[in-house]
């Protein structure tokens, strides 16, 4: 077994360019620890790079990635709750000011849920059990459709982000800080093909493009 040469070459490039660029930032972070203001929860999908999308360097984003960018509801049961543990650390220890749940186009996890929603989940099928977290999203989408769009995949991707935002509020350490206006929750969706980012309006729960306001903010 050999370490992939593509990765070794990439690391060589990083040492010469990327690390040099952020050398002082790295030294500062190593000395004083991390103080990110933003927790991003997004999908494992390789086509999605949160640091790239938000043009962020080391120490800026605390990132949780899982299949279909899902947040499970708060559970006090035994078990290895990896996503919940990372949320707890970001919120209670790092005191992030914002949580962004970023869904995306062509999400394989969402697609798998849509194709297998009515099938029973086999033992050992981790993805099948995990994406069952989308069930309440599918039910609320059917009962109270928010979007006027004729694209069931996109509608489910949006609904998944909304459900995860709702589930976040079931964590006492999240809801306490949100209600005290000490932290904000945001929904977002990224279109891999076009680079378009859409943000969820908290009042209407609809997703609108962020492009024009983003360009203004960058100037």
Q: Rule CB under 5 A: which residues touch Zn ion? A: 43, 45, 107, 109
Task: Tally Cβ neighbours within 10 Å of residue 209.
Answer: 14
Nearer to Zn ion, 39 or 107 (CB): 107
Nearer to Zn ion, 107 or 168 (CB): 107
**Distance between the two ends of the chain, CA-based, in angstroms?**
48
- Nearest approach in angstroms of CB 45 to Zn ion is 4
- Residue 89: closest CA among 28, 173, 169, 5: 173
Return d(Cα 205, Cα 136) in angstroms, integer.
Answer: 16
Nearer to Zn ion, 45 or 60 (CB): 45
Question: What phi and psi, each to the nearest 5 degrees, are found at residue 22?
Answer: -110, 20
- Nearest approach in angstroms of CB 35 to Zn ion is 29
- Nearest approach in angstroms of CB 108 to Zn ion is 6
Phi-psi region of 78 (alpha: psi -120 to 50; beta: other; left: phi over 0): beta
Question: What phi and psi, each to the nearest 5 degrees, are found at residue 74?
Answer: -60, 130
Whether 205 contacts 61, CB under 8 Å: no
3-state secondary structure at position 119: coil
- Nearest approach in angstroms of CB 86 to Zn ion is 17
- Nearest approach in angstroms of CB 215 to Zn ion is 26
Cα 143 from chain centre: 25
Nearer to Zn ion, 43 or 155 (CB): 43
Nearer to Zn ion, 141 or 161 (CB): 161
The length of the chain is 219
Nearer to Zn ion, 29 or 112 (CB): 112
- Nearest approach in angstroms of CB 14 to Zn ion is 26
Whether 109 contacts 131, CB under 8 Å: yes
């Amino acid at each position: 077994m050999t370490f992939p040469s593509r990765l070794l070459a990439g690391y060589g490039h990083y040492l010469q360019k990327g690390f040099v660029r952020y050398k002082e930032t790295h030294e500062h972070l190593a000395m004083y620890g991390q103080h990110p203001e933003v927790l991003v929860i997004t999908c494992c999908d390789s086509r999605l790079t949160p640091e790239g999308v938000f043009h962020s360097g080391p120490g800026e984003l605390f990132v949780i990635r899982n299949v279909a960018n899902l947040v499970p509801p708060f559970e006090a049961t035994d078990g290895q709750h990896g996503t919940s543990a990372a949320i707890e650390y970001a919120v209670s220890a790092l005191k992030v000011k914002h949580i962004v749940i970023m869904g995306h186009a062509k999400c394989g996890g969402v697609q798998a849920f849509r194709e297998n929603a009515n099938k029973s989940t086999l033992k050992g099928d981790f993805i099948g059990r995990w994406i069952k977290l989308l069930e309440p999203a599918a039910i609320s989408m059917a009962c109270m459709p928010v979007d006027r769009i004729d694209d069931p995949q996109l509608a489910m991707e949006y609904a998944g982000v909304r459900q995860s935002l709702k589930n976040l509020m079931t964590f006492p350490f999240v809801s306490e800080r949100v209600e005290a206006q000490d932290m904000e929750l945001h929904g977002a969706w990224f279109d891999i093909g076009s680079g378009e980012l859409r943000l969820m309006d908290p009042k209407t729960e609809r997703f609108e493009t962020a492009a024009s306001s983003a360009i203004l903010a960058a100037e």
